[in-house]
Structure 1
């Protein structure tokens, strides 16, 4: 619940700022650039006063937008088709805009002596109303596009892409986690490919509910495996790269009844984590992606591959563990110097468990 509240407040803050700025820009474009609208003769005085009344509109739309997007994203989108989600959102926003303008227009009309009628059914013939609806749709697309891009590439990466930061390879220090379903082959044979696919979908849905809490980025999904990444600073902060794994396991355990009822099993995941310097660059033209190249990724994958051998759920390189500040809640046990496939030098690996 605390995680939901934090995520909602973050979204609420962003939407209020976004829509307040958006409607301020709308006023400048619509009234200042054009000159007159519905009896308004534009002066600097009028503009400053109108902007004062745009703020409540931005606040109302921002609150509505945050509530609708949060509810659909967290609770409804999974079970509804995209077309139905878009239709339902449009209806809600359409009604919300009418109610918001019913509140704002009388304020502007009374204070500035403008002809902004709000009689019953006013919106059907109001030119400014339909312009606002069109502007709202455009701004919504922009907001959603940026949000989707940030979800795909990670916080701030999308803007770096626009600026061309990754056109040339750059060195970064990052942490990678390879998260894989234990006994996946056996489970797939037991469930069949359709039910197995639904199981993976449910598991990754649970994973997605917590990744933002720990500042993680989902780099890619490969079958029943998810690859997560952090900047090194964010990954070691508050032990995010370790806490995420155990929170994910706890979340699945809390939904044990659901998994047992639907699949007659409770999925268990194993993971390997490692961090260090690697190269990040932009690849592709038809389908652009951010790609990471370096030993860190290969090593993380091979550490995860050792989990079954040592019957551990979470293995990490000691290089990373030495930079973490693990509390007494966690216990580490040195596994030894492991010779990983494809590497000449042996790597110190330890298991991390909850005490």
Structure 2
């Protein structure tokens, strides 16, 4: 199965689960919290736990619909979110969420009529007059903001890291085994002088946008952006699986080549990147008070950066430590070449380095 499709299906399942739970909670609130109000009378066909179960099942169906349709809206806006401001994105996204909600409840009026006294099937603009609908809409809006917050936090800290932070896993340093890639723009100083700082900044923005398009397909996590450099990482096994840590680099190269006409027309250059890969055990912990971040400490980070710094010396775009090479399964479309041993800055022992090329 295509990795992009897997990512989409995973997001759909998360959205459906979230909205199903949200609508079950709403059903419980309505069942226990409200006996009667203006324009609304709860018709309790069942009492106690059976009643809660009855209405929860009804609202799970609504949650499934909302989860799927909201996800479709989010996919559309995710494709254009880099082209609009965050404020406009939230405004238009919220507006289309409202339209989706209206369509859902207009087309399942039989379910909605089961908890409302209004004869909504006879009123085309029922939603303008129904106070209970606006109450539900407010609940959905708040729930949507919570879901968006969780999504943004998950993207900020990396997949699964935010939940671990909430649980306090990284308050004390933890040992992990990971692979790191330092990815840096080649000839950045020359390009910056040629383009000027404004155009150069746009170039970096475009490059990182293209990088973000291939990152999810290879299960990578973006640890840091530092100027024109990006630091990516993988849990060790995920980085080795399907040669993710290597194939990401070639996928990024291919995407830039496919857009070479765009880069040449706008910037007069097709940007090239160089990368260094190394892996092993290191410590991860939560740092900061005013601005909290997850930080990695250990020799793996420093060695990865130093290996990337040797790319110009050996005139190759990709260098990998022997430690990672030994654990990789080199496929038929890749060729590996040993380049030698090098004493990296700050190291007391030489490190064997290799380069990999795609056939």
* Aligned residue number for residue 310 of structure 1: 314
Q: For residue 12 of structure 2, what is the aligned residue in structure 1?
A: 12
**Is the 2:34–2:42 Cα contact (8 Å) retained in structure 1?**
no
CA deviations over 1:273-330 (Å, ceiling 9, x no partner) = 0001111110000000000011000000000000011000110000011011111111
- In structure 1, distance between residues paired with 2:301 and 2:81: 32
1:79 aligns with 2:44: no
Residues 82-121 of structure 1 show CA distances to partners (whole Å, capped at 9, x for unaligned) of 2211111121111111111112232353xx4852442222
Aligned residue for 2:59? 54
**Larger CA deviation: 317-326 vs 149-158:** 149-158
Instruction: Report matched runs for 1:97-246 at 5 Å.
Output: 97-109=101-113, 112=114, 114-118=116-120, 119-246=123-250
* CA displacement 1:41-74 (0-9 Å, x = unmatched): 442454333223223311221122111111111x
1:204 to partner: Cα distance = 0.2
Distance (whole Å) between structure 2 residues aligned to residue 135 and residue 113 of structure 1: 16
Structure 1: give runs of 5+ residues left out of the alignment.
none
Aligned partners of 1:108, 1:305: CA distance in 2, in Å?
A: 63
CA 1:348 to 1:325, structure 2 compared with 1: closer, same or farther past 3 Å?
Answer: same
- Structure 2 vs 1, CA of residues 145 and 57 (structure 1 numbering), >3 Å: closer, same or farther? same
In structure 2, what is the Cα distance between the partners aligned to 1:311 and 1:20? 54
1:155 CA displacement: 1.6
Aligned-residue offset at 1:344 = 0.8
**What is the match of residue 63 of structure 1?**
68
1:22 aligns with 2:27: no
Quick check: 1:8–1:66 contact (8 Å CA) kept in 2?
no
CA contact (8 A) 1:12 1:62 kept: yes
The 1-side partners of 2:195 and 2:162 are apart by 39
With the length of structure 1 as denominator, give the TM-score of the two structures: 0.95
8 Å CA contact 1:53–1:108 kept in 2: the answer is no
Please say if residues 338 and 348 of structure 1, whose CA atoms lie closer than 8 Å, have aligned partners that are also in contact: yes
Quick one: structure 1 residues 214 and 53, their matched pair in 2 at CA, closer, same or farther if it must change by over 3 Å?
same
Q: Which residue in 1 is equivalent to 2:294?
A: 290
Size of the aligned set, in residue pairs, is 352
Aligned to 2:327, the other structure's residue is in SS state coil
Q: Secondary structure at the match of 1:95?
A: helix
SS of aligned partner of 1:53: helix
Q: Structure 2: 5+ residue runs without aligned partners?
A: none
Match of 1:39 in 2: 41
Match of 2:327 in 1: 323
Give how far 1:36 is off. 4.2
Deviation at 1:351, TM superposition (A): 0.6
Alignment check: 8 A CA contact 2:182 2:229 kept: yes
2 CA distance for matches of 1:49 and 1:317?
A: 59
Task: Report the CA distance between 1:255 and its aligned residue.
Answer: 0.6
Alpha-carbon distance between aligned partners in 2 of 1:113 and 1:205, rounded to the nearest angstrom: 47
